[in-house]
Amino acid sequence: MRLKPKSSRMFLRALLILMVVSAWGWQVATATAAPDAKVQAILVWGTDEIKPDNKSLKQLDGKLHEKLAKVFKWQHYFEVSRKSSDLPAGKSQGLKLSDECSVEIKVLPENVAEVKLIGKGKTLVTRRHSLAKAEALVLAGDDRNNNAWFVVLNFN
């Protein structure tokens, strides 16, 4: 059976409309998927003691020191380690901050990061943090001798 010119034009129009709608649907689907993100994780030690000689600690920078000092009681805050990483959408990314401390981060489709804080091989806490927020996520815990540790996560 041979197509008439008018019916072949209608077929081509229908095909073109289907292609446009499919392309639009694909763009919407990829736009609502979780975006890639970046994270910077800082392991901080809070104490009232002066810096110990045997540890390679850096005094925490002014802005972060001020933010922590407004909320917590310690006089001195030292950076133990700092790690940065890309966070591929939908995949877990682990960051080892020390022999005893690491975080596992996964970017979820709702533009939210799910963060697991791991201490001595055990998950201590799981938190969700909106990537739309400019604030850092701070996780904290007690340490020996009335000291504390903090994990500060900055997403961008």
Q: How far is CA 34 from CA 26, 95, 131, in A?
A: 14, 20, 10
pLDDT digits (tens, 9 = 90+) for 104-144: 999 998 889 999 999 999 999 999 999 988 899 999 877 77
Predicted TM-score (pTM) of the model is: 0.73
Burial class (CB in 10 A: 0-12, 13-18, 19+), 9: exposed
Could you give the CA distance from residue 135 to residue 5 in angstroms, rounded to a whole number?
62
Residues in the chain: 156
Helix (H, G, I), strand (E, B) or coil at 113: strand
